[in-house]
Amino acid sequence: MHKKRVVITGMGVIAPEAESLPLYDEILRSGRSLIRHVDELEAFGFEAQNGAIADPLIDPKNELLRLFEIDLTSDFIKLAVKAAYNAWQDAGLPIPDPDSEEVDYDTGVMIGGVISGIEQLVSKVVPLLEKKRPKRLGSMIVQNTMPSGASAYISSIFALGNQAMSLNSACSTGVDSVNWGYHSVASGWAKRMVVGASDAYNPYSWAGFEGMRVLNRNSNDAPEKASRPMSESAKGFVPGSGAGVLILEDLDLARARGARIYAEILGGFSNCGALRGKGSMTFPNREGVIRALKTSFELCNIKPEEIDYINGHLSGTMADPFEVQNWFDAMQLKGRKFPYINSTKSILGHSLGAAGALEIVATILQLYNGYVHASLNTEDLHPAIEKLIGRDAVPLERVDFPEMRIAAKANFGFGDVNSAIVLRKFEE
């Protein structure tokens, strides 16, 4: 069957201090860190006390969303619902009548997440079970902890009747959710997909990373310096939170309704290094990464030299130089200049499952508006990276780049998973 072309017609983000797309764009353009000292982490005994916290509060003036708040207690769902509302509006789609029985069976939802409603378990289930009173939990725990809860609420809010699912592939979740939506529309399963990912601030889940000693604990007095992907002094990532949601549409549908088109998804690919070679639960098998990147270029029918910009996974750990080496080897540019590469995590921190979704939105904003945002805290670029791709490939300040045409984005996650997506500025 002929594959449909898939375009992005709407985007919404709930990032720390940035709940609108123009503000998110402005933050990326100006390269302003959203990382702050989190007093609660200090109170809980974390040595790494910085984070980026997105606000799950639903605006009481939002007539539609407040109808759904009665039984909505979970922060990751609230973030997803808010981002989906913004994306839906940004796409120029009509807000449905909540009392209508009409269902749109052509539009589906795929919202990923890693941590989901863990705070509900910790704050509600644990105390009641310790008192041997599980019946006192009432009815709302399951729908607020289940990973597909965000998709379920979004289908309900917008009356969407195609698939409503969630996926989790650790830090690859965001890219995989968007790729899933791409395949759904390309194959004809759905005509439109609401896709993305959400993860909320939660000291109980962040504690696991503190336990692993993978958070940067050397910068509590200078939060904006804490997230330093690709720098020689990178000493761990900074946890973040938020949600990114995109509206993907069959090009014919988007054209028929005269939608604004941000970019086209050319395709993507995901694999797993199977924890072989030097691969482990937390470090990638290099062969798997290179295969994933190469295969995504092949499936999208592009040559690596056509890529103008890379939005890396680049979380600010010792793995960053290896990641850049893997991109370099997968692309085999043979003496040609390496494209621009930056890390959106230098601004937003690492919001786990949501990271990929927020970073894809960032990639598209840069592609659509023609710039490459600064990769913060790369004054001391790692010498191995500088030697390989040169200082100029990693912007210390924003670079205006209106000619940008193709962007590649990848995330790599625990479990040795690798996911890539390729985006192109829309061409008729």
Partner 1 sequence: MNKQEIKEKVIAILKKYTRREEVWENFSDTSDILNDLKINSARLVDIILDIEDEFDLEVEDEAMDRIRTINDVVEIIAEKKAEKKD
Q: Tell me which residues touch partner 1 (CB under 8 A).
A: 67-68, 70-71, 98, 136, 138-140
Report residue 2 as tokens: 């002929």
- Distance between CA atoms of residues 75 and 102, nearest Å: 28
The residues with which 298 forms a beta bridge, in sequence order, are none
C-alpha count within 13 angstroms, C-beta hemisphere, residue 37: 9
Closest CA to 141 of 131, 132, 149, 133: 149
Closest CA to 374 of 400, 395, 390: 395
The residues with which 21 forms a beta bridge, in sequence order, are none
- Min dist CB 157 to partner 1, Å, is 12
- Distance between CA atoms of residues 341 and 255, nearest Å: 32
Is residue 105 helix, strand or coil? coil
Name which of 68 and 180 has its Cβ closer to partner 1.
68
- Min dist CB 176 to partner 1, Å, is 31
DSSP characters over 165-188:
E---BTBTHHHHHHHHHHHHHHHT
- Min dist CB 139 to partner 1, Å, is 4
- Distance between CA atoms of residues 169 and 415, nearest Å: 8
The residues with which 103 forms a beta bridge, in sequence order, are none
Name which of 72 and 272 has its Cβ closer to partner 1.
72
Name which of 68 and 262 has its Cβ closer to partner 1.
68
Angle at 183 between CA 181 and CA 187, to 5 degrees: 125
- Min dist CB 172 to partner 1, Å, is 33
- Min dist CB 68 to partner 1, Å, is 8
Residue 268 and residue 423 in contact, taking contact as beta carbons nearer than 8 Å: no
Closest CA to 371 of 392, 340, 350, 349: 340
Residue 360 and residue 175 in contact, taking contact as beta carbons nearer than 8 Å: yes
DSSP characters over 319-330:
THHHHHHHHHHH
User: In Å, how far are 107, 277, 284, 293, 422 from 272, measured between CA atoms?
Assistant: 29, 12, 9, 12, 18
- Distance between CA atoms of residues 271 and 15, nearest Å: 28
Name which of 69 and 379 has its Cβ closer to partner 1.
69
- Min dist CB 88 to partner 1, Å, is 20
Name which of 47 and 63 has its Cβ closer to partner 1.
63
- Distance between CA atoms of residues 354 and 335, nearest Å: 35
- Min dist CB 107 to partner 1, Å, is 23
Name which of 159 and 333 has its Cβ closer to partner 1.
159
- Min dist CB 138 to partner 1, Å, is 4
Name which of 47 and 71 has its Cβ closer to partner 1.
71
Q: Burial level of 89, CB count in 10 A (0-12/13-18/19+)? A: middle
The residues with which 194 forms a beta bridge, in sequence order, are 109, 247
Name which of 98 and 390 has its Cβ closer to partner 1.
98
Name which of 92 and 134 has its Cβ closer to partner 1.
134
- Distance between CA atoms of residues 100 and 160, nearest Å: 12
- Min dist CB 146 to partner 1, Å, is 13
- Min dist CB 226 to partner 1, Å, is 41
- Min dist CB 67 to partner 1, Å, is 5
Name which of 73 and 173 has its Cβ closer to partner 1.
73
Name which of 135 and 334 has its Cβ closer to partner 1.
135
